[in-house]
Amino acid sequence: MYNIAFPQMGDYCVPAYFLLSNILDANIIKAPKITNKTIELGFKYSPDFVCTPFKYTLGTMIECLDMGADTLIQYGGGCRYGYYAELQEKILNDLGYDFKMINLVIEGRINLRRINKLLKQIDSKYSKIKSIYYSFITLKMIKYMDEIDDFIRENVGFEVVKGSFEKLKEEMLIKFGNVKSYHELKIIYRYFLNKFKCVKVYKPDDRLRIGIIGELYTLMEPFSNYYIEKELAKNNIEVKRFTNVDYLFLRKSKRMKKYLKNNPYVKYSMGADASDNVANCQYLCENGYDGIIHIKSSFCTPEIGVMQVISKIAESYDVPIMFFSFDGQSSETGFKTRLEAFYDMLEMRKNK
Amino acid sequence: MRDCYLGVDIGSISTKGVIIDDRNKIISSAYIWTEGNPIEAVRKLINILKKRMPRGYKVKGIGTTGSARKLIGLMLGANSVKNEITAHAVGTMAFHPDVRTILEIGGQDSKIILIKNGIITNYAMNTLCAAGTGAFLSSQAKRLGIDVEDFGEFALKSKNPVKIAARCTVFAESDLVHKAQVGYPKEDIIAGLCKSVVINYLNNVGKGKKIESPIVFQGGVSKNVGVIKYFKEVLGCDVIVDDNGHLMGAIGAAILSRKNKTGEEYELQTKNIKFETKGFECGGCANNCELLRIYKNGKLIDSWGSKCGKY
């Protein structure tokens, strides 16, 4: 029997674990939560100037391999992310680990036939039909999770009893991890959505609204952005974020095709989520948000390209914008000082 | 009895304190070195401020700012703890209501604040390193055997400042050593250093920012006439340097504490209060959070640095 592990990102380990444990007869290893040890490991064995998500995921992989994993799963994307799997495999091999790397994306494409073949090697009884069914449930689960997260982001800063949203969400994720069918998932989702809507919130009309845009991993893994959303919520700020897995998988391509037509800011795709962020920035400016925060991991090339464009857009709409670059070693105090000054500034603007 | 407000700005190098009355008039001020011990420095500062304070005033609010603002805020029981950027802007606007740009170079950080119609519209702070800040200048002064206070006077003597690569402190230092060894006169090197601070600042912190006058230049480095001269030269317009420029953060903190209106009456007693900090590593999980626990009179009142909220 194989021991399978995969890198960590936000809460998405729940649906990923659900999918793998249902379609494969294998031991799925739950990666430990990202801690300082993960980062130390990742930084030690990564090239210095690679983007930070590489270091985070490499750290998790080493931790998983030490826990006994022998098969690792990695995805790939439209920037340097596309080379993660190959390079990480090489680094880990050089470190003396013996394992198998399953790269879901090859040459920028997901080839289902190839993945089927790979999975068949792991589990000879693997069935295509079953995996289609569970993939469907998983995608729905991700969609529900993201919807709830959007709702939380808008309201968590105004909860009357501190911590009520977080507690409820933890409960929900445990329930989601144990569902058996689509029907059950739907019932649980409705139950929790109702509960979330019943949480007491006090939302003043003159509250600050901030949009967070930027590089996908830094946005979705709260440890890598020093829990920026929590920090904003602590100060009674409503947060809007576009990027989530549901968006990247299902809605992104359609939306961008439409956006890129006759656009004054970008004419062609800038790689990864760069042109999405131009669109998001424009949306935030046009919909009356008080400020924009752009976050990225250090050395993220597409986002560096986009910074000039969005600061121009923000300037033309007179919306303040703040840029943060995260690397595992940046100072948390410096970050918090700048963030505090940012919402102080927004508040002063609003009260004027 | 009239009301007054105390503002303390605890920077990496120096600690500044002011007491203002309700019309923003400074009634007592002090400027001392932090020397790596903010708690002791503030104790000293409070004593000096108290001695210089005229009779007939009551402290009605305390505000803190600067890198040790949280610790000192807790120690003094401050009713307003704010970041340096907001404090500096608020303080400066009280004295120069029409200011558009604030340039600030301090001990370890440098920042630029843009203001329009009395509100901050944009700001930037140096992010990764302390190149071109006060700490760099004072270490170079030591190398050249000159007091950092005389640095500016020396720079003014020069007619031909040398070019120094100031992108990075380490490289600037080796460039400076090289220029000295080749035989350039001291004042030319010092003038070159002052100019490099200005150019570095405008290229790093001021990058992409529209600098409009009136411009106010503050922070410890604003006491350096050489740097002021080159700011005027490079920007091509006048740069205002307030005599109280070094106190602006503290003044801002005091004003913010007044605006907060939550302050009670303060006694300004620091002698009998025992204030201690103890650091330890948690080790409860792989995060190994470095925790700082703060004791007042032997009682634990707060601990910082925990990621999970256990402490």
CB of B109 closer than 8 Å to CB of B125: yes
Instruction: Give the residue extent of every domain in chain B.
Output: 2-91+249-260, 98-241, 275-304
Look-up: residue for tokens 């501190």? A162
- Considering only CB atoms, which chain A residues are within 8 Å of B120? 344-345, 348-349
In B, minimum Cα distance to A351 occurs at B119
Q: Please, what is the average pLDDT of chain A?
A: 90
Predicted pLDDT of residue B246: 85
Residue ending a domain, choose from A80, A97, A126 = A126
Cβ–Cβ below 8 Å for B287 and A325:
no
Predicted pLDDT of residue B129: 65
pLDDT reading at B167 higher than 70: no
pTM higher than the cut 0.80: yes
Identify the bridge partners of residue A103 per DSSP, sorted by sequence position.
A74
Bigger pLDDT: B175 or B308? B175
> Is B2-91+249-260's fold the same as B98-241's?
yes
Distance of alpha carbon B220 from alpha carbon B104, whole angstroms: 8
pLDDT tens digits along B207-242: 878 898 899 998 888 888 999 999 999 999 999 998
**pLDDT level of residue A3 (50, 70, 90 thresholds):** very high
**pLDDT level of residue B99 (50, 70, 90 thresholds):** very high
Predicted pLDDT of residue B270: 67
CA A9 vs CA A33, A34, A201, B29: distances in Å: 9, 9, 29, 51
**pLDDT level of residue A190 (50, 70, 90 thresholds):** very high
What number does CATH give the domain B2-91+249-260?
Answer: 3.30.420.40
Asked: is B98-241 a CATH 3.40.630.30 domain? The reply is: no
For testing the chain B interface, which of A8, A33, A36, A324 should be mutated: the one with the most B CBs within 10 Å?
Answer: A36
- Considering only CB atoms, which chain A residues are within 8 Å of B118? 352
Identify whether residues A301 and A348 lie together within a single domain.
yes
Cβ–Cβ below 8 Å for B287 and A37:
yes
Token pair recorded at residue A15:
């649906």
User: Is residue B309 within 8 angstroms of chain A, CB to CB?
Assistant: no
Look-up: residue for tokens 């009136």? B214
Which CATH number characterizes residue A308's domain?
Answer: 3.40.50.11900
Cβ–Cβ below 8 Å for B85 and A37:
no
Identify whether residues A178 and A224 lie together within a single domain.
no
pLDDT reading at B162 higher than 80: yes
Q: Please name the residues in contact with B7: beta carbons below 8 A apart, sequence gap of 6 or more.
A: B17, B18, B19, B20, B62, B63, B64, B65, B87, B91, B249, B250, B251, B252, B253, B254, B255, B256, B257
Query: DSSP for chain B?
Result: -EEEEEEEEE-SSEEEEEEEETTS-EEEEEEEE-TT-HHHHHHHHHHHHHHHSPSSEEEEEEEEESTTHHHHHHHHT-SEE--HHHHHHHHHHHH-TT--EEEEE-SS-EEEEEEETTEEEEEEE--S--TTSHHHHHHHHHHHT--GGGHHHHHHH-SSPPP---SSHHHHHHHHHHHHHHT--HHHHHHHHHHHHHHHHHHHTTTT----SSEEEESGGGG-HHHHHHHHHHHTS-EE--TTGGGHHHHHHHHHHHHH-----B----SS--EEEEEEE--SSTT--EEEEEEETTEEEEEE--SSS--
Cβ–Cβ below 8 Å for B123 and A337:
no
**pLDDT level of residue A215 (50, 70, 90 thresholds):** very high
Predicted pLDDT of residue B241: 92
Q: Look up the domain containing A68 and give its range.
A: 3-126
The total domain count for chain A is: 3
In B, minimum Cα distance to A335 occurs at B127
Predicted pLDDT of residue A78: 77
Bigger pLDDT: A43 or B149? A43
What integer is the mean pLDDT of B284-298? Answer: 82
Predicted pLDDT of residue A183: 94
First-residue to last-residue Cα distance in chain B: 42
Identify whether residues A108 and A134 lie together within a single domain.
no
Distance of alpha carbon A295 from alpha carbon A327, whole angstroms: 11
What integer is the mean pLDDT of A103-125? Answer: 85
In A, minimum Cα distance to B124 occurs at A338
Residue ending a domain, choose from A148, A183, A203 = A203
C-alpha torsion sign, points A209, A213, A218, A224: negative
Identify whether residues A196 and A208 lie together within a single domain.
no
Residue ending a domain, choose from A203, A238, A266 = A203
Cβ–Cβ below 8 Å for B119 and A345:
yes
Strand ranges in A195-339 using DSSP code E only, listed in sequence order: 208-214, 237-241, 291-297, 321-326
Token pair recorded at residue A159:
């909860």
Distance of alpha carbon A147 from alpha carbon B248, whole angstroms: 47
- Chain B residues 40-69 with a CB less than 8 Å from chain A: 67
Identify whether residues A74 and A137 lie together within a single domain.
no
pLDDT reading at A226 higher than 80: yes
pLDDT reading at A202 higher than 80: yes
Predicted pLDDT of residue B276: 81
Predicted pLDDT of residue B285: 81
The top-scoring range by mean pLDDT among A89-98, A315-324, B163-172, B175-184 is A89-98
C-alpha torsion sign, points B148, B161, B102, B94: positive
Cβ–Cβ below 8 Å for A345 and B82:
no
pLDDT tens digits along A151-173: 999 999 999 998 899 999 999 99
Identify whether residues A135 and A76 lie together within a single domain.
no
Identify whether residues A216 and A339 lie together within a single domain.
yes
pLDDT tens digits along A266-290: 888 888 888 899 999 999 999 999 9
* Interface predicted TM-score (ipTM): 0.80
Nearest to B93 by CA among B121, B51, B68, B128: B121
CB pairs under 8 A between A and B: 53
